[in-house]
Amino acid sequence: MNQRASGGSSFYENRLLCLLSLTFGIVVFDRSAMQLLAPFVMQDLSLNNTQIGALAAALSVTWALSGYLLSRLCDRRGRYRFVLISSIVAFSLCSFLSGLASTFTALLLIRMLMGSAEGAILPISQTLMAGASSEGRRGFNMGVMQTLGANLIGAFLAPVLLVLAATHWGWRHTFFVAGLPGLICAGIAWRIVRDPPKSVAVESPTGGLRDLREILRHRNIIICMLLSGLVIGYFMLAIVYLPLYITGPLHMSPQTMGVMMSILGLSAVISGLIVPGLSDRFGRKRVLVLPAILSLLAPLGIIFHGETPAVLGLILFFGFTGSGLAPLVMATLPAETMAGHRVAAAIGLSMGAGEILGGVMVPLLGGAIADRWGLAAPLYLQSAFMLTTILLLAMLRETGQAKRASIEASSASA
């Protein structure tokens, strides 16, 4: 599974890391465009809140399905590079088409197509990154690949650039502009990316259901699917309902709310670098516990001690270090559990489960309980999610540390 062990180099490893991190950042940028441009689109197409929610949910559903199905196809055929580049081109074209939509139905279908194109990019990228990474950098590389570009481009640049462009040029032209960077990344990927070694791309003699059963025989995979849903759900609740809580019950201005959410994004960037890197050194399970505990306490801290911006900022910065959990439970642990056999499918399955549970069902649940019990209810739900996460982490089987010990033992005996 190690690209460097099969004739690769740290130069390729670093180039691939930069490209895939940038590419996924653009994916998140394009995915965020619909939510950020919703006020403009709603007014022009006369949409309601339910329809805007349906656009987001539809993309999440097709994202989840394509993430698993296309990843399994790559595991069977070994065409990772081709599928990755084709998916990048497809989602870029879907961004152009979004700007041409004149009805809700047309926009819904286009967003479903975009989800189908984007869903495979992250699991395939993580599979390529796992194969190209040296043993001591796999967790760090996979964490950077999934979080750095996504948070910098999707959390910091997207809100400013997309809203500014829509204000000056209109939302349709903004969708056209949003699709251009993806085409550039596809051209770079054509020159840089290469398929992983044959040991990763295993031709499966069995059908889809038997492949799925084989993956689900591993306890770690099932736990990672649940963890993915809990972690994604935790942060979806924060993204959707925390701005409303800050400007509502906490009575802060929209400008202050923007600063607070930027602090949350900064925490996600830093934890996405530090937590996976530390897991390479100290083991996956041991490193995951502390950010999970901080994330458990963060929503309660917001409710009981978040009245002032300074205190709230500290709670958000330290409390949302749980972002570092995402790449490990969604990609690194599934990849190391399968150890070169159906790796992309395992990653796609974990991410797909996370999208369905956390990206589709949790925001709807959060809205229902917020309407019934107030905006503090989603925060309590976040704490419940992270408490469950801590319990599930205790049930995981270590992969990184155990694998290093096995390699060291083999070297010693040789």
What DSSP line would sit under 315-383, residue for residue?
A: HHHHHTGGGGHHHIIIIIHHHHHHTTSSHHHHHHHHHHHHIIIIIIIHHHHHHHHHHHH-TTHHHHHHH
What's phi and psi for 102, nearest 5 deg? -115, -5
Residue 68's pLDDT band, with cuts at 50, 70 and 90, is confident
3-state secondary structure of 249: coil
Task: Answer yes or no: are the C-beta atoms of 201 and 83 closer than 8 Å.
Answer: no
Torsion of CA 390, 392, 395, 399, to 10 degrees: -80
Tokens 């290093």 sit on residue: 404
Mean pLDDT over each residue of the chain, to the nearest integer: 83
Alpha-carbon distances, residue 412 vs 405, 406, 407, 409 (angstroms) = 10, 10, 9, 5
Q: Which of 318, 328, 323 is nearest to 268 (CA)?
A: 323
One fold for 1-198 and 207-406: yes
Q: What is the CATH number of domain 207-406?
A: 1.20.1250.20
Say how far apart CA 55 and CA 103 lie, in whole Å: 12
Task: Answer yes or no: are the C-beta atoms of 122 and 99 closer than 8 Å.
Answer: no
Query: Biggest alpha carbon distance in the chain?
Result: 71
Q: Is the pLDDT of residue 64 over 70?
A: yes
Letter for the amino acid at 385?
Answer: F
User: Which CATH class, in words, describes the domain spanning 1-198?
Assistant: mainly alpha
Say how far apart CA 16 and CA 196 lie, in whole Å: 12
Can you give the pLDDT at residue 405? 55
Tallying the residues shown for the chain, one arrives at: 414
Letter for the amino acid at 254?
Answer: P
Q: Which of 314, 324, 308 is nearest to 269 (CA)?
A: 324
Q: Is the pLDDT of residue 6 over 50?
A: no
Residue 190's pLDDT band, with cuts at 50, 70 and 90, is very high
Which tens digit of pLDDT belongs to each residue from 279-308? 888 888 888 999 999 999 999 999 999 889
Q: Region 96-104: what's the mean pLDDT?
A: 92
Q: Is the pLDDT of residue 208 over 70?
A: no
Residue 341's pLDDT band, with cuts at 50, 70 and 90, is low
3-state secondary structure of 263: helix
Q: Is the pLDDT of residue 153 over 50?
A: yes
Q: What is the DSSP string of 36-83?
A: HTHHHHHHHHT--HHHHHHHHHHHHHHHHHHHHHHHHHHHHH--HHHH
Can you give the pLDDT at residue 211? 67
What's phi and psi for 406, nearest 5 deg? -65, -40
Q: Which of 36, 68, 29 is nearest to 55 (CA)?
A: 36
Q: Which of 402, 3, 21 is nearest to 220 (CA)?
A: 402
Q: Which of 220, 239, 234 is nearest to 334 (CA)?
A: 220
Domains of the chain, by residue range, sit at 1-198, 207-406
Q: Which of 246 and 20 is assigned the larger pLDDT? A: 20
Which tens digit of pLDDT belongs to each residue from 115-124? 999 988 988 9
